[in-house]
């Protein structure tokens, strides 16, 4: 599996970067279309995106390097090289959403309205980004038998053949799960006008899948014996449940609000 798509003047352009950039561009296009469902101003959304994305990438790398610092402490310069992978989505989300929250607070805009619009785009970008992991031959699971891997397309079999051994393509499971969430969120965005339902559904649904799939991976970022992605996913599930319970309670109290 060649992680390099092509070279320009001796500089390698990797599939990892291409897929992340493609996910971002598709996300921006889709968010423009989705703005009308929340009457959100696209220019403000674009400003939020253009500020949040670079900070999110920095956060994704910083988060990864912190937990893998032993691999970088003797070569700090390598910590700035993201072409070979090493972006932690949870770190990216924390920094990007934090930036968006601060921006909307300063501009006196509704964070949750823009978060609802952006949520389908975010999960679609994540789904495409997992294929960057495929080309880098990372984010996979344990060694599996040929009897197991033979049920996948040939290109998956070849990509997951690393050093003569076949590995469980957990990147594929997460990508497929993320695409399913994208479809669900696009429907919910149109069916429900209640602020926060789309965004918190994104947090909850992604967290459920990530918690399960993370348990299969061999390259998890660890805090002692705890897989950090599972810990954060569990927190995301709890936040989702709390939001849904409170939302349901408000529906019971206000009655007509449930019909919106």
CA distance 242 to 196: 12
Q: How confident is the model at residue 254 (pLDDT cuts 50, 70, 90)?
A: low
Q: Report the DSSP beta bridge partners of residue 223.
A: 226
pLDDT digits (tens, 9 = 90+) for 76-115: 888 998 877 789 999 999 999 999 999 999 999 999 999 9
For residue 255, is pLDDT > 60?
no
Distance of CA 89 to the CA centre of its chain: 5
Where would I find the H helices in the chain? 15-34, 42-67, 89-107, 111-136, 146-149, 154-159, 170-191, 197-214, 228-254
Closest CA to 221 of 66, 75, 84, 97: 66
Alpha-carbon distance 196 to 217, whole Å? 31
Q: How far is CA 1 from CA 5, 10, 15, 108, 208, in A?
A: 11, 20, 11, 48, 30
Average of per-residue pLDDT across 41-52:
96
Q: Is the model more confident about 115 or about 251?
A: 115
Tokens 């957990």 belong to which residue? 170
Pairing, β 222-223 against β 226-227: antiparallel
Say what the pLDDT of residue 94 is. 97
Whether pTM > 0.85 for this model: the answer is: yes
Per-residue pLDDT tens digits for 124-179: 999 999 999 999 999 999 999 999 999 999 999 999 999 999 999 999 999 999 99
3-state class of 81 per DSSP? coil
Among 235, 193, 187, CA closest to 211:
235
Taking only the tens place, the pLDDT of each residue in 233-250 is 999 999 999 999 998 877
Containing domain of residue 132, as a range? 4-259
Mean pLDDT rounded to a whole number for the chain: 93
On the question of pLDDT at 13 being above 80, the answer is yes
Sequence length of the chain is 260
Q: Name every residue whose Cβ is closer than 8 Å to that of residue 55 and which is 6 or more positions away in sequence.
A: 95, 96, 99
Q: Is the pLDDT of residue 260 over 60?
A: no
By three-state DSSP, how is residue 6 classified? strand
d(CA 194, CA 184): 16
Token duo for residue 127? 């789904």
pLDDT reading at 199 higher than 60: yes
How much is the pLDDT for 138?
A: 93
Domain count, the chain: 1
């Amino acid at each position: 599996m060649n992680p390099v798509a092509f070279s320009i003047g001796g500089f390698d352009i990797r599939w990892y970067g291409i897929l992340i950039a493609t996910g971002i561009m598709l996300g921006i296009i889709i968010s423009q279309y989705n703005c009308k469902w929340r009457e959100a101003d696209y220019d403000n959304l674009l400003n939020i995106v253009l500020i949040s994305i670079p900070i999110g990438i920095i956060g994704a790398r910083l988060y990864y390097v912190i937990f893998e610092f032993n691999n970088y402490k003797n070569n700090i310069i390598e910590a700035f090289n993201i072409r070979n992978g090493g972006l932690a989505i949870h770190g990216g989300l924390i920094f990007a959403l934090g930036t968006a929250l601060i921006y909307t607070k300063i501009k006196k805009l509704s964070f949750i309205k823009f978060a609802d619009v952006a949520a389908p785009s975010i999960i679609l970008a994540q789904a495409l980004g997992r294929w960057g992991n495929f080309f880098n031959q990372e984010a996979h699971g344990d060694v599996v038998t040929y009897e197991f891997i033979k049920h996948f397309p040939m290109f998956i079999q070849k990509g997951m053949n690393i050093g003569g051994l076949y590995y469980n393509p957990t990147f594929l499971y997460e990508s497929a799960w993320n695409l399913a969430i994208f479809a669900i969120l696009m429907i919910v965005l149109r069916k429900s006008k209640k602020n926060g339902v789309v965004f918190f559904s994104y947090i909850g649904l992604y967290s459920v899948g990530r918690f399960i799939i993370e348990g299969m991976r061999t390259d998890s970022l660890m805090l002692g014996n705890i897989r950090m992605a599972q810990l954060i996913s569990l927190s995301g599930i709890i936040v989702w449940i709390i939001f849904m319970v409170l939302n349901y309670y408000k529906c019971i109290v206000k009655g007509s609000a449930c019909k919106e």
